[in-house]
Each structure stands twice: as C-alpha cells, then as structure tokens.
Structure 1
C-alpha cells in the first residue's frame, strides 16, 4: 500500500488490509470487519457474509451519510458499532474489528494484555479499554464500545468476542491491531514456559527517548547497480517477514553490508509492510543518506559490521515464539533439535537496555552470535547472505515454537554434550 493512503480509494485500502489479516490467520472466512469514514462522512465497510479470503474492491459497501447504501451486498452486521465509534470520536477515521486467537483468549478470560511486555507497544497501542458483553450486531454493543472510545481509548477488548481498534487512518489502525495481537501472543506463549516479565514505564520512556537520525548527513549519495540490488533484496525480505509473522508493521530492522563497513539499513517510522526501495538508508563513512532517518539500531549494526568481518547481513526483529523466551528470561535450548543447533549453536540473551546504551554494547557486538535475544525487546540474527540470515530466523522461530508447544507434553530432553560434539565435528569443522 502506498504511504500516501489518501490517494488510494477506501475500497482498495480495506481489501488490502483484510487480505493481510486473513492470510496471517488473524480472522476467519466469515469473521471480522473493517471500515473507513471519508471526508464527506460516508462510511466504507466490509460486507456481511462474504469470504474474507477473496474479498474484492467491488465487494466493499458504502453507507452514505444520509443512511442510504451503495453496493451489491449488505454491510457488515457489526456496522452499528463502527458508526457509533465515528460519532463518538471524530479523530478516528478507520476501525478494525477481528477475532485474532491471542486477543480472543484474553477476551474469554476477561483480561487485558499488558503492553509493557515489549518496548514500543505501549506507545503504539496506548491504554486498552474493555467493553462488557452485548449481543453481537446490536445497538447495545455499539453503545458500550462507543463509551470506551469516549474515554480516549483507541483499542478495546470486547468481552467474550474479540477486539476493536481505531486509527487516524487504516494503516494506523492496523499497526495498533498487529502490535496488540503480538503482545497477547507473546504473553500467552511465554506463560507456557515461565512467568512473563514486564518493563517499567521508566524503561519504556528511556527507549522512546533514543535519538534518531543522529548521524551527520552525506553531502552527495551515489547509487551503483550493486547497491540498488541490495536495496531490493532488503525490501523483499522485510515483506516476506511480515507475511510470515516474523516482523510487524511497527518494528523490525534489516541491514546488509554494502562495501567495506558501509551498509544499507531500513528506516525508522516507516510501516514495514509498505517499505519501498527508496526508503532504504545508505550509511557510508559514518554518515547517513540525506533526508532519511535510519533505524534507531543503526549504531548496533555498524558496530557488528566493524567488529565481525564475516557478518554481511543482520535482521533485528520480534517474532512471538522467540520473544516468549525473551520476556520470561527462559533459556532457549536449541540442543533439543540437532538441525537447529547446527545452524544456530547456543542462543544467548542480554538484559534489556544494553541495546541502546553505546557504552554497554560489547556483549551484543563482540564475537556476534548467529542468534541473540535482547530481553523484552528483540532477537538479532546475523549471517553472510541475507537469505541465509532469514533462514536462520525461520529456524530459530520454528525451534522456539516446537519447544513452547512441546513443554506441555513433558520434560524436554536435549541431546547430550557428546552428541553435540559429534555434530560439531561433522558439520562445523
């Protein structure tokens, strides 16, 4: 989706976002609805009882300000609460309602996920409201949800139902939706292997206060063919990561060494789903491409490249099963799966905060591990070719998932030191 979504028709915006939600398994064929209110006060909304897996722009309904309906289907049965939200909050221009599994889990035990589980979620999601159960599709449901939005919330857990989120536009609402479901998933998975730990408001404020774009700007920038090719590769890997749930809209940094210790890196403040080739930031001789803000983690990437000549690509992201270990201080023992150990060896963890205090960087950047978890923040994966690094990320997340799921079956039994040594001799010598 173009970053200037005002130039995209609401029909197309809605179908693209519902397609992302459906393919990520965050709603069902019949579940969930999305709407946008335009400058004329007309509301564009998904139809009732139409397959969310094959929705087309022509399926989207327009409910005019005067109540008349344009379109070949009926509007969503939940339209009343969409309308109620817009009436309660003129600042909200888009609404997403869905039944993503983790957030539904919270709704049926009548709890609200604590977004202090990771660094940026509190800022993105804001405080979370809670709407008592009312009959789906009823005016009563619209009233209780509107009451929560009237309190200033932009995200509301619906008791025994799901979640509803608003935004200044559809991209804003989707970022909030994706981040909140990620928080819920991470808490759920973490609870299967330990006790989730939460960041303090002070720690989060310190994270948010990190300087961005502090590198001096280049006077001129050149774009040789090899550099452009690497930009495209980064964009493809970021898109693939988003599609597979290994990265979310609001967080994820990818970089590639370009020449010597110069590198290309993703920007800050750009939705990861919508990343384009000209968003990528070139870092050369300690300077940044003019007019662009590189990731706040740029200095980590720079130091990893400076001190590890065999590392040529880095992915720094949040994926739910890996972060289950990162939020519980639990050890991710990949010796349970021989193939995973061959790729990753042992995965270490560092305390939260060391990733943005430059004077405390040595445990992150010296002798950089293939995979390293930063508690309550992210996982760093390093490698040679970017596709190889992405493969390591997939292997690490799949391994973490297998261990989380296997934990409910009984005691995990890793391979022993002798077996590890056999692997080392055969595959790493």
Structure 2
C-alpha cells in the first residue's frame, strides 16, 4: 500500500504536534522545540520564549536556506543544533527535542534506556545514542549532537538536558520520541520491582517476522451495529491515548461483530488519529479490502473463537502494568475490592505465545479471568463490551501503579482468603 502524500503545512504540523506533546505532559511551557526541513531546504521551527501550551500556526518561524527568517518571533534558541543535525543526516526531515521527565532522569544519570524491553520500542526508536553536555543554544552543543547522529543514532539522550529525536517526517519523529519516553518510564517502574528481562536477538526477530495472512474481500453495506462498534472503538482508542494506556505505535483494540467477525485497529497507523472508517473488518480468513489489520489480529481471533462471551479485546502497553511484564515480579490483584472483582487472577503468558498461529493465547484468558500479562509485551484484557474491556484495562493499570507505589512505602497487605470469599459471594463471581 502506498503512503498518502502529506498535505499538512509545516506550521500546522508543528503546532499540532507540540500541542500533543504538551497535553501528554512530555514537555513544559518553556521547554522543547520541533522543526521540519522542507524540500527547499527551509527549516520550520517552533519559536523562542512562546508558551508551548498555546502555540498557534502564526508563531512558527521559517528559517530560509540563505539564513534569513520569517515569522513573528525569533526561532528557538536551539536552532543551531537542529541545523547541525540536518547537515549531518540528510535523511532526517524532522526533529523533536523536549524534556520529558523519564528521559531527563536518564539524562542526569548519564545513561540511556535499553529499548530491548519490548520489540516495538526497539524497532521504532532506532539506534540510541548519548551526547555530552554543552551550553544550550551553543554551537558546541550542536556539534556534540550532530556527531552522535552522524554515527547513525536516531534517538539521543542529551547529558543533563533532555532528548532529541529525528525522523523522516514529524509524525515519525514524534512516534520515536513517544516510544522512547514510554520505554524510559516502563524501565524506571520495572527497576523498582526487581531484575529486568530484556529481549535477545532471536526474540526480536520472532516479533519482527510475524505477519497476518488474510485474504481480501469487499464487505456488504455496514449495519447499524457495525457503525456503532466502529464509533465506540474510535472513541475508546482515542481515550486510551489520552489516558496514556495506548501510544501512537502500540496496542490493538477489537470488538466482536458476530460469531466469526470482528473489527480491529489497523497496523502502522497512529492510534489517536484513527477514524471510524480506519478500523478493519475481519471475517473468518478474510479482511476488509485496502486495509491492513493489526498484526495481533490472529490472537484476537483465537480468543473470540474459544470464548463466545468475550465481546471486546485490548492488547496494550500501559507503563505500570508493562513494568510487571518485563520482570518476574508477582502481580497480585488482591489489593482492593475493585481490582479483584474486575480482574480476578491475572496469568502470565510466555513470550512469543501471542505471535503463534496455534491459538494457545486463548487459554490464558476467560470470562472469569479476563486479563493476562504478556512477557515483555504488555497486557491483554477482555470484556463483555468495548466499555467493559476499557474499564478493566484502566483498573489493571491503576492496580499496577498502586502496587509499585506501595512498595516504596512498606509491606503490602493483601486481602485475606476470607475477604476474597466474601467478595465472590457478594458479586456472584464464579470460576
């Protein structure tokens, strides 16, 4: 499938992307800058000393190839290193620089996150680098960063400063930046739980080579039920991104349409920007024409076939729950009544099970045990509706966060067997 032409003006791209970064709390009012190099060699860049939370398209500055600039404000004080990166790497067309807390933590410890935590982060972030400190805005800083990018790095931690990421488009650079921050947050949480498990080359290859082989078909006119499910999926996927349960490159969400048909998120599409028409109808061994279903579609299908009561499924990578998935720390949901009632016993799934076509993934979830932890690949949550699955995902992530926080306070007091029996009776919970 050919990639659609980008028809969005650089001013609008920078404005919208900065708004998204600020909404996600990955930068501050004064911190960070974005740029795009266009086909003529002009560099469009966010301005100096302008509120990042209220950036408008008129605020964006264009620095011409001849050095002249056009705009209401001076360009960002970090313009020198943007220019240096573009000179060092002609393949890079856009840059994201910001000070997200997790990556700043690595910056001030003079370390870089190991993205082998999970395959998607390793694939999306590209080669990781570290650039030594120099004064912000200085030519020396630009030289340090450009040298690191010249070595082939794509995502670079800046010593005692922040992070800078390059891509072949601003969307690509943002995805790398977001995945890098996600990996950093997950690793920080995981280190509080115990030894961290990283993927080896064979495991990374296993994930990279998985594919979904469906024949193409043209569906009949969509029913009212299908249209409603498409709307629900769109709304909850966007909500998941806002809640940081999903990110632009991670996660799949599906809803059952009938006995052997379901709707699912497409592959290689920004989750937050999906529209109702982007979701892919899968029916038996066929998928909707001119669309590519999530590479997790076979796993979703296996669960639907084995569990008729399951009506919606989420594969996701929220940072706290995913921290458990990359360690051997026990995830015990006997924390508060809500956690146990909604989640019951959360099983652990060996890495790679979700990639196989044997349907074994379906053995790890059921109506009475709706969630599972995927080793080094986040979590699965099932539900009786799209809302139910999303609600359980929120509860799972909230529970994981509470456990991680509690471990810094003292010993965790799990609910007793008597309390669990009482909950099972009160809420009619069955095995």
Bin for the TM-score computed over the shorter chain: over 0.9
Alignment-derived partner of residue 426 in structure 2? 426
Whether the 8 Å CA contact 2:365–2:372 is kept in 1: the answer is no
Matches within 5 A, 1:12-411: 12-212=12-212, 214-359=213-358, 360-364=360-364, 369-411=369-411
Whether the 8 Å CA contact 2:325–2:376 is kept in 1: the answer is yes
CA distance in 1, matches of 2:356, 2:187: 26
SS in 2 for 1:415: coil
Question: How many residues matched?
Answer: 426
Per-residue Cα deviation, 1:282-327 (whole angstroms, up to 9, x for no partner): 1113311122211111111111111111110111111100001000
Deviation at 1:379, TM superposition (A): 0.6
CA distance in 2, matches of 1:368, 1:258: 21
Per-residue Cα deviation, 1:321-349 (whole angstroms, up to 9, x for no partner): 00010001211111112221111112111
Whether the 8 Å CA contact 2:113–2:183 is kept in 1: the answer is yes
Whether the 8 Å CA contact 2:47–2:73 is kept in 1: the answer is yes
CA distance in 1, matches of 2:6, 2:216: 30
CA distance in 2, matches of 1:351, 1:201: 17
SS in 2 for 1:389: helix
Whether the 8 Å CA contact 1:308–1:368 is kept in 2: the answer is no
CA distance in 2, matches of 1:155, 1:338: 42
Deviation at 1:89, TM superposition (A): 1.0
Unpaired stretches in structure 2, ≥5 consecutive residues: none
CA distance in 2, matches of 1:391, 1:220: 30
Whether the 8 Å CA contact 1:249–1:271 is kept in 2: the answer is yes
TM-score (norm: length of structure 1): 0.96
SS in 1 for 2:75: coil
Structure 1 residues 229 and 355, CA gap change in structure 2 (3 angstroms): same
Whether the 8 Å CA contact 1:127–1:153 is kept in 2: the answer is yes
Whether the 8 Å CA contact 1:303–1:365 is kept in 2: the answer is no
SS in 1 for 2:28: coil
Aligned-residue RMSD, C-alpha:
1.4
TM-score (norm: length of structure 2): 0.96
Deviation at 1:6, TM superposition (A): 2.1
Unpaired stretches in structure 1, ≥5 consecutive residues: none
Structure 1 residues 361 and 390, CA gap change in structure 2 (3 angstroms): closer
Whether the 8 Å CA contact 1:195–1:328 is kept in 2: the answer is yes
CA distance in 2, matches of 1:70, 1:4: 29
Per-residue Cα deviation, 1:247-282 (whole angstroms, up to 9, x for no partner): 111111010011223111111111212212222111
CA distance in 1, matches of 2:246, 2:16: 18
SS in 1 for 2:92: coil
Whether the 8 Å CA contact 1:247–1:318 is kept in 2: the answer is yes
Deviation at 1:220, TM superposition (A): 4.4
SS in 2 for 1:361: helix
Whether the 8 Å CA contact 2:303–2:361 is kept in 1: the answer is no
Per-residue Cα deviation, 1:376-413 (whole angstroms, up to 9, x for no partner): 00211110121121111111111111111111111111
Alignment-derived partner of residue 415 in structure 1? 415
Deviation at 1:94, TM superposition (A): 0.3
CA distance in 2, matches of 1:183, 1:121: 7
CA distance in 1, matches of 2:205, 2:283: 30
CA distance in 1, matches of 2:364, 2:297: 13
